[in-house]
Structure 1
Amino acid sequence: MTTPILLFLDINGVIDVEDTDVQGENLPQEYSTVYPVPGTKEFLQVIDSCSWIHPVWISTWGKQSQAWNKWAKTRCWPWAYPLDSDERHQALDLIGHGSDKYLAARWYSRDWQHRIVWIEDGFWLSSLYDSSMGAAVKWAENNSNVKLIDTAPTVK
């Protein structure tokens, strides 16, 4: 049996990257033009077809993230971010500090006992300028069940 994975997936900077070489598309529900990375539709469909992957949007798009599911013709996935006011206060009480996305990831996964993968742009770059995002990096460093995948280019 394959170990379940909770997959947090960001949108902007991960699957939606404005690039002059990629033609923009309109998502369902009349959103502004987006720039899906080549292969995004297939990527979302593969994730959706894997029963051991439990995908969750963690994007400023919030509930509107599900427009990507409609575009890719997959099930609508839940979203973890942004937290509502009550959840944010409870997350702060339970976790302490961190960026809003970090708090959302920790709050959403608080009862999850298996692997967690979080795909985001700029974990390490953000942590250099924003100590609250550094909490996500420390979380992964201190928890072998947590894997962060950073889509931002490495600074040299």
Structure 2
Amino acid sequence: SEVLVIFQGPEAYISPSWYAAKAEHGKVVPTWNYISVQAHGRAEVFDDAERLLQLVSRLSALHEADRPQPWAVSDAPREYIDSMLRAIVGFALPIQRIEGKWKLGQNRSSADQVGVREGLTASSDARDRELAAQMRNDHPAKEAL
């Protein structure tokens, strides 16, 4: 059946106190800024041992690549790996439709956007600071907006 998978990027509460418009006219309310991607497709579940072995091997190689002595699936005894593969259910989602949204206050004035970036940058929460970095005017992904 068709499924929806949501990949959530940085997100943050946006205080109206960060808007220059608050001092100008007070017509501001809180909001939430975020980056997300929604992938739609037909889910596929599989337990084929060879396909799982290839998938687990590629995934391990990807995450081990930067280590001084990368571990590989082939480092473990084959019978042990075979027993572990029997406990794994693979999942694939061939994407039929994808939608992305960058809600970063693009509808606000430049002054309001600067206030939000400054407010997020000053936050002690790393997620807020990550969102502020995404809102920079020179961020390459901003061109897609």
TM-score (ref. length: structure 1): 0.25
Structure label with greater radius of gyration? 2
Higher relative contact order (CA closer than 8 Å, sequence separation 6+): 2
In terms of fraction of residues, the more strand-rich structure is 2
